[in-house]
Structure 1
């Protein structure tokens, strides 16, 4: 009978041994480990690493309520373990690194009563250990700007150094701070915070060198001075707000005259300027005018008014940190002179009319002189008449006589001298007496 019962008893004992494995097998793949650390830290200071067991689907699974249900296993060599704290679903260790470098730390979770079971979750983290001080520079200002590392010039800046020392390793150290503001100004302080005002705009880099010293016990019961240093920097972009726009230009002008208005910007050179001519001084809406890039603090506007009336220049300027509006009224009067576009045709017409009048007058005078010459009775030229003129005078008289001679009588005299006498219309008949 006993040999027959032994297989049953052994099967029951085998199932009893498998019962502790059931939760781990079911939980495998349903959870994950999240690791956090406060590294980097300096050599000799404690680094803290925390592992938290969470549901892999963002918390939809309910974790067991038994705080002893899981166990966390750590591998942290060569870091020296200085402390360990376990909670229900998290574990935290504290370790010290005496050499600089990056050291991997791994952790996995198993069932509390089954060390050899498959891990529920595992993870890896690489904390950093350095020989230098760890910290960063923080720059603040009362007026915050929406651009990274951008601040207002001529406004006080607060620059602070924040030491990263989570384990309070430097609690007995004394610090010395050497500042370089990038504009030629340097100073040394014993305080980790300074106030500085940049008087000009531009890009600057603040540099800080920190020295920490403290006494440390030696192996021979003595004391020695230990020193650590660190170099830090921060980039700054200093801007100046637009305080306004000064407009220089006429307030009255005649139509069809070119007008120039000069804009002087009180502040950093704006990135864009736009303007529009209106009958009333109203601010410009977005997209109402075409922006023009401007790289200087002055800009000239030119415009020609064609219609008289009252107008207003609406001007908007903006840089990377601010914007401003300005207006300039101007009264346009009717022009006292006709525009050239109308004056030229009128002058052409008048010139043609005058030319026509002169042509008609000269033509009538010429016809009258010809008629008087035709009615004049020519007589033969005597031998005493002077010989015809020669050279230029002759040519001029022949070609331009009617126009250059002073009187008609002078013209007739030239005709007598240069034209042959007409032959008689009849021949003389001799008569003979018988």
Structure 2
């Protein structure tokens, strides 16, 4: 019985709380909170969070004219609250974090003097707190390129460090900057801005180490030196403008002969290359040829001419920075049979023919000589007493076949004496003396 009475009393109290603020209950779900913050922050620095009540989905719903009808409720523990202000339909708090981490902060809006009523709107945000310095490394150049993080070589770069300290927590600190530009160059400065010029193309990473020191009064009224550091980096892509195209190739060629032309691009890839043969050297129009992507600074063109005449290679190349044109004239002559191609076969044929002629000449000469020698033979009957062949045959036999046909040594000696009568005798006469 007592429990039922208390239940009825609770309902009555709940209704009495809602009835005065019926408009607020009706407004539930029609509004939302926009939250802004200046985080992240380093430990010890003050962080500001603001919440504003706006119509949901940017509708045309009018906001209440009396801002005192609503109240903002914040939950920020374990962050320490250092200040709170409310103005119209917005509320701002200031908190400090003494330990690093990600801390959630929530806020909701209810009718004034009725925190148990249904919230009109809710909001939620996470604050990152770190022990390191907070800031950004910004790289700028006078020339703007269409690609992000792309810059020109041989053009001065401005590299700046922007410290994020909206609460001026480090206003008395002394900073030291250590720079590394990724190409072997390092320097230490006391200024947060440096100017640097890259002389080569490529992708580089600029690294910066920042050290901040300041004096702080401790709880025991003594002064101590505090220090915070931070590491920052930025990736840079250094490129060159296209200063021209170097064309290496012949200027005179014959038809049906394959030609290769080498293009050397004086600039940084990637490139888009387009070329076409024209009767005259004129620039290429858009869509006049099919573009080809080139990932290096050299490219080879190959072509075979079928018709003689004067031609011009019209070449266009461009990268993300600039574009350029180049031309290459070439004359095409009709192909002819070159004598040098057949020089060796002809020389060989002539040599063979000359050798054959000499062989036939010598052969005919030998046959005629043999016929003459045969004609000199005397076929008359030889005497029985001293049969001798003709002198010509005898000479031939003596010179060629004598040693094999003669039967006795005496005959051989006799023939030698007859044929070599003028030669000295083979033996000397021996004189005989009688005593």
* TM-score (normalizing by structure 2): 0.71
**Whole-Å Cα distance in 1 between the matches of residues 139 and 18 of structure 2?**
61
1:255 Cα deviation from its structure 2 partner: 3.5
Aligned to 2:137: 137
1:320 Cα deviation from its structure 2 partner: 4.1
What pairs up with 1:273-284 in 2 under 5 angstroms?
A: 273-284=273-284
Aligned to 1:81: 81
Residues 256 and 339, structure 1, Cα contact 8 Å, conserved in 2: no
Change (3 A) 1:68 1:265: same
Residues 33 and 121, structure 1, Cα contact 8 Å, conserved in 2: yes
SS in 1 for 2:57: coil
Change (3 A) 1:93 1:270: closer
Aligned to 1:91: 91
Change (3 A) 1:187 1:53: same
SS in 1 for 2:262: strand
Residues 158 and 194, structure 1, Cα contact 8 Å, conserved in 2: yes
**Whole-Å Cα distance in 2 between the matches of residues 289 and 82 of structure 1?**
69
Which deviates more, 263-272 or 248-257?
Answer: 248-257
**Whole-Å Cα distance in 1 between the matches of residues 125 and 94 of structure 2?**
14
Change (3 A) 1:89 1:14: closer
Aligned to 2:424: none
SS in 1 for 2:67: coil
Residues 270 and 319, structure 2, Cα contact 8 Å, conserved in 1: yes
1:261 Cα deviation from its structure 2 partner: 2.8
Aligned to 2:127: 127
**Whole-Å Cα distance in 2 between the matches of residues 57 and 240 of structure 1?**
48
1:138 Cα deviation from its structure 2 partner: 0.6
Residues 39 and 47, structure 2, Cα contact 8 Å, conserved in 1: yes
Aligned to 1:240: 240
Aligned to 1:323: 323
**Whole-Å Cα distance in 2 between the matches of residues 150 and 14 of structure 1?**
64
Change (3 A) 1:14 1:148: closer
1:316 Cα deviation from its structure 2 partner: 1.9
Residues 71 and 112, structure 1, Cα contact 8 Å, conserved in 2: yes
Aligned to 1:199: 199
**Whole-Å Cα distance in 1 between the matches of residues 18 and 258 of structure 2?**
100
Change (3 A) 1:119 1:258: closer
Residues 17 and 114, structure 2, Cα contact 8 Å, conserved in 1: no
Aligned to 1:149: 149
1:256 Cα deviation from its structure 2 partner: 3.9
**Whole-Å Cα distance in 1 between the matches of residues 328 and 17 of structure 2?**
94
Aligned to 2:41: 41
Change (3 A) 1:288 1:77: same
1:305 Cα deviation from its structure 2 partner: 2.3
Q: CA RMSD in A?
A: 2.9
Residues 20 and 114, structure 1, Cα contact 8 Å, conserved in 2: no
What pairs up with 1:112-261 in 2 under 5 angstroms?
A: 112-261=112-261
**Whole-Å Cα distance in 1 between the matches of residues 156 and 170 of structure 2?**
30
**Whole-Å Cα distance in 1 between the matches of residues 21 and 295 of structure 2?**
75
Gaps of 5+ in 1: 1-12, 341-404, 411-434
Residues 44 and 96, structure 1, Cα contact 8 Å, conserved in 2: yes
**Whole-Å Cα distance in 1 between the matches of residues 220 and 269 of structure 2?**
67
Q: Deviations over 1:159-206 (max 9, x none)?
A: 111100010111111100000111111100000011111111111111
1:240 Cα deviation from its structure 2 partner: 1.4
1:42 Cα deviation from its structure 2 partner: 0.6
**Whole-Å Cα distance in 2 between the matches of residues 76 and 292 of structure 1?**
59
Residues 146 and 320, structure 2, Cα contact 8 Å, conserved in 1: no
**Whole-Å Cα distance in 1 between the matches of residues 17 and 137 of structure 2?**
59
**Whole-Å Cα distance in 2 between the matches of residues 102 and 338 of structure 1?**
86
Q: Deviations over 1:374-397 (max 9, x none)?
A: xxxxxxxxxxxxxxxxxxxxxxxx
Aligned to 2:358: none
Which deviates more, 244-253 or 118-127?
Answer: 244-253
1:285 Cα deviation from its structure 2 partner: 3.9
SS in 1 for 2:59: coil
Residues 33 and 53, structure 1, Cα contact 8 Å, conserved in 2: yes
1:77 Cα deviation from its structure 2 partner: 1.4
Which structure 1 residue ranges, 4+ long, deviate > 6 Å from structure 2?
Answer: 13-17
Change (3 A) 1:294 1:110: closer
Aligned to 1:306: 306
